[in-house]
Structure 1
Amino acid sequence: MHFQYCPHCGKKAERKQIGDEGLIPYCTQCEVPLWDMFTTSIIAAVVNECGEIALLRQNYVSQTNHVCVAGIMKLGESAEETVIREVGEELGLKVKSVEFVKSYPYEKKEMLMLGFRAVAEKADFVLSGEVDAAEWVKLEDAPGLLREGSIAWQLVRAVKVIFDDHTLCSQFLRDYVDLPYMKGIRPEDIEDVSEQYVTLFAEERNSDRVKRVHVGGGSAPFFLVSLIEHKTAPDYNVCMQVFRYMVYIWETYEKEAESIQKGMAKREDFLYPPILPIIYYEGAKSWNVPRDFRSRIREGSIFEKYLPNFEYYLVPLRDYSNEMLMEKKDEISLVMMINKLQTAEDIVNFRQLPGKEIEEILKDSPEHLVNIIANVLRAFLLKMNVPVPETERLTDKVREKKMGELFENMEKMDIQAERRNTALEEQRADEANVRANEAEKQAAEERNRAEKEKKRADIAEENSIKLLVELCQDLGASMDAAMQSLRDKKDMTMEEAQKKVEIYWKEPTDIPEKKNSPNG
């Protein structure tokens, strides 16, 4: 909403230079800048434990496409609370965890939409009156049911499923975390306990997954905090963020122990579980951020004896060559090779890999893992503005387990040129929209002027008819003569002329007869 008048006093706003913001509407009476206002809403990709997403049909929104859960934030609600409420209202599902993904400006509706990933158990839907239908759809199939380019479509493409899969997660821990405890990790040793930390996630919107990993078959598990949200730039505050996670997890563990036996945490033999924080980094630049907590504290080296001292484990994808990844011979390494693709040169390097060895990895891969790999590839290709038909052709190669043929018939892509072309096309589209809006505005003004002119002409014509009928009557003509005059001069039918005469013919006024005076 752009202000032209002050909402407080009603005075017309003036333009005033406000710092670096430029010329802003300003009320000189209230002495306040009138910033543009917008509505804040949420949109949620609701996923279940089967790798499916809940898509809705709301005919008042779209007659042809599915949509995601969405709704306006209420006063006093956090965005996460809105997600939980809207999913419950629209689908009748109970949300286990909420994770912030990305924000999306929606200028057409003057709205900012906050995108979330919400996890709920698969169950039958209880639909609200504003939802016509809903269904669970495989995550990889969802983009095809949404309007391409829509916010729901963008959100679904952004939802990460890689480390939610325990097979891929166990492969990652075995292959890329150099600790003896990790070498024998199996998918069944991993338990996702993220739902226990919904409160933490509500505060830390960049959080990802919390895993409980059972080590060596022992009874005491240790926790793994994994910040594997595909970071693409160095984050100097990640150490403090990890520290907050760790404290929260230990506090939760302590409360669980106290609920079992009062005073357990104060016993000498009570120990907290170890936590292994991991950062999975996909950025092109070097990760030059210090990994120790002490580096974020002023005079940390002096006070190091009195400060927490830990480091997070960094897995920088840029440090692994395709050949190093291929040596692992598992699905997570294929996913990481796709995530390494950034430029046309990366694609050329990928094409040089031994196709038979790649296909050998996929030979016995279960369908759901193949679909995850295909989904990761699709997200990359669409991000690089590869046409949708070509994207579908390439992802079908993955599903057919012919990944060795992936780019063999694909022309060399100039990704930067594609991005520039897309930006230019978007600029041209925006300019065309502006011109179209101006043309529509001018057309509306012309219509208004034409309607006003017609209204004035109609009034003038009606006055002319009235005057003609009154003139005939004043000259002593009959009603029939007045009707004939209207037909001759106004080109009316007999019925039209009769109606007008009946409307404007003055009834004679009764004049009382004069009585003879007494002297008459």
Structure 2
Amino acid sequence: MAIHKPKDNSFKLILDDHRLFVDFLLRFIPLPIFNALSPDDIEDVSERFLPLLLENRDSDTVKRISLKNNPPLFVIAIVEHESQVNFRAPFKMLQYITLVLDKYEKEVNREHPGLTSTRDFRYPPVLPLIFYDGPAPWTAARNFADRTALKEIFGDYIPSFNYELVELNKYGFEDLSRYQDALSLLLLVDRIQKREELEELKGLPGDYWE
């Protein structure tokens, strides 16, 4: 028997709580630059990108992260929890990335007119992230170039980037429960698709719940 989950799933709670989001980055995207990250370094800037968020305001998020002595990092987080894989994901990410960089360029030029036209200006990095908790395996292309025809011929002229994919069903109950924290519990609850998995959650040892 399938268990139907509300649209606001557990990952939205993680995105909305920056303490949990820091834990998530450290656990699933363990880049050394995140080791010194704190919740105060993160700003939710989703409201600045309403033109693309109108369709999925409940499941798409943009974060601006201050990195010590570095340009900011933007994280585009898309939650996919439908039963069918979204094969438009690479193109949707390309739309977001260009929108984020365009917005950043305009902000910089307002504060420092003409700066983005100088030789030394660099655009900030953007980390595209998809969190998928649907029942079917994620089979969409991970690189935008793989969704473009004749890439073997025109590859040098096609945008090429990968998005980070966290596919929840690839992590078993043992993988998620060993951390014994709030992030672990939220992901375990989100992972439940069938009644027998709910029983497995109930069967976690007492020290986990403590």
The interval holding the TM-score normalised by the smaller chain is 0.7 to 0.9
1:343 to 1:252, Cα distance in 2 relative to 1, 3 A: same
Deviates more, 1:329-338 or 1:202-211: 202-211
Which deviations, in whole Å up to 9, do the C-alpha atoms of 1:359-388 show, x marking residues without a partner? Answer: 2xxxxxxxxxxxxxxxxxxxxxxxxxxxxx
Which amino acid in 2 is paired with 1:282?
A: D
Taking only aligned residues, the RMSD between alpha carbons, in angstroms, comes to: 1.9
Structure 1 distance, partners of 2:74, 2:22, is 14
Judge conservation of contact 2:77–2:129 (CA < 8 Å) in 1: yes
2:102 aligned residue: 251
Q: CA deviation at 1:207?
A: 5.4
Shift of 1:229: 5.0
- For 2:79 and 2:189, locate their aligned partners in 1 and report how far apart those are by CA, in whole Å: 16
1:403-439 Cα offsets, whole Å, 9 max, x none, are xxxxxxxxxxxxxxxxxxxxxxxxxxxxxxxxxxxxx
**Contact 1:164 / 1:209 at 8 angstroms: preserved in 2?**
no
The aligned counterpart of 1:299 is 150
Alignment TM-score, normalising by the size of structure 2: 0.88
Distance, in Å, in 2 between the alignment partners of 1:334 and 1:168 is 11
Equivalent position to 1:201, from 45, 53, 71: 53
What's the counterpart of residue 352 of structure 1?
203
In 2 relative to 1, CA 238–263 (structure 1 residues): closer, same or farther, beyond 3 Å? same
Q: Give the deviation of 1:333 after TM superposition.
A: 1.3
Shift of 1:202: 3.2
| 2:132 pairs with one of 275, 281, 286 | 281
Q: CA deviation at 1:328?
A: 2.5
Q: Relative to 1, partners in 2 of residues 1:184 and 1:261: Cα closer, same or farther, differing over 3 Å? A: closer
Distance 1:301 1:158 in 2: 39
Aligned partner of 1:233 in structure 2 is 84
- Mapped contact 1:193–1:211 kept (Cα < 8 A): yes
Partners of 2:101 and 2:172 lie apart in 1 by: 37
1:175 aligns with 2:27: yes
Query: What residue number does 1:188 align with?
Result: 40
Q: C-alpha distance in 1, partners of 2:178/2:22?
A: 17
* Structure 2 residue matching 1:262: 3-state secondary structure: coil
User: Partner residue of 2:174?
Assistant: 323
Higher RCO structure, 1 or 2 (CA under 8 Å, sep 6+) = 2
Q: Flag structure 1 segments of 5+ consecutive residues without an equivalent.
A: 1-156, 360-520
Which structure would you say has the larger Rg?
A: 1
Q: Percent identity?
A: 34
Q: Given the two structures, how large is their TM-score scaled by the length of structure 1? A: 0.37
CA distance in 2, matches of 1:184, 1:193: 21
Equivalenced residues, count: 202
Whether the aligned pair in 2 keeps the contact of 1:231 and 1:280 (CA below 8 Å) is: no
How far does the alpha carbon of each residue in 1:264-316 deviate from its partner, in whole angstroms, 9 at most, with x for none?
A: 11111111110001000001111122200011111123211111110100000
Whether the aligned pair in 2 keeps the contact of 1:193 and 1:212 (CA below 8 Å) is yes
Matched residue type, 1:194: S
SS at match of 1:302: helix
Runs of 4+ in 1 over 3 A off after TM superposition: 157-161, 202-207, 229-232
User: What secondary structure sits across from 1:246 in the alignment?
Assistant: helix
Alignment of 1:57-456 (within 5 A): 158-159=7-8, 161-162=12-13, 163-202=15-54, 208-215=60-67, 217-359=68-210
Over 3 Å counting, the alpha-carbon distance change for 1:212 and 1:320 in structure 2 is same
Cα offset for 1:165? Answer: 1.3
